[in-house]
């Protein structure tokens, strides 16, 4: 594992898991936690989204107040019939792009 990438340490009553940043597809804000979306599961991590955004490598881009996505998984930035944008990820997920994040999303994705 590349040392420049973050490792998430997820503790439960019976175990401690180490999830490398490279396994995280996207991150969703859930109150005082974030939900790490992985290929086959999700994991809750007690951390604030804005703090996490500052600590992650440039592998991720903030697309919405509730979402950070891994840049290399973004396949398309789409504008819907309602005028709102969404990102389509390689894993098949579509996530909304917040209006105030559209510019930084485009810059972050090189679009």
Question: Which domains does the chain possess?
Answer: 7-109 (2.40.50.1020)
pLDDT, tens digit, 9 for 90 and up, residues 66-89: 999 999 999 999 998 899 999 999
Query: Given this model, what pLDDT does residue 101 score?
Result: 94
CB 73: neighbour CB atoms within 10 A? 17
Query: Given this model, what pLDDT does residue 1 score?
Result: 47
């Amino acid at each position: 594992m590349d040392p420049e990438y973050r490792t998430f340490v997820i503790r439960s009553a019976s175990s401690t898991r180490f999830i490398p940043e490279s396994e995280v597809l996207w991150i969703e804000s859930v109150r005082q936690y974030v939900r790490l979306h992985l290929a086959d599961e999700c994991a809750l991590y007690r951390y604030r989204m804005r703090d996490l955004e500052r600590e992650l490598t440039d592998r991720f881009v903030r697309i919405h107040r509730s979402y950070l996505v891994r840049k290399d998984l973004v396949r398309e930035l789409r504008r819907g019939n309602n005028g709102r944008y969404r990102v389509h990820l390689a894993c098949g997920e579509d996530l909304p792009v917040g209006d105030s994040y559209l510019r930084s999303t485009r810059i972050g994705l090189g679009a």
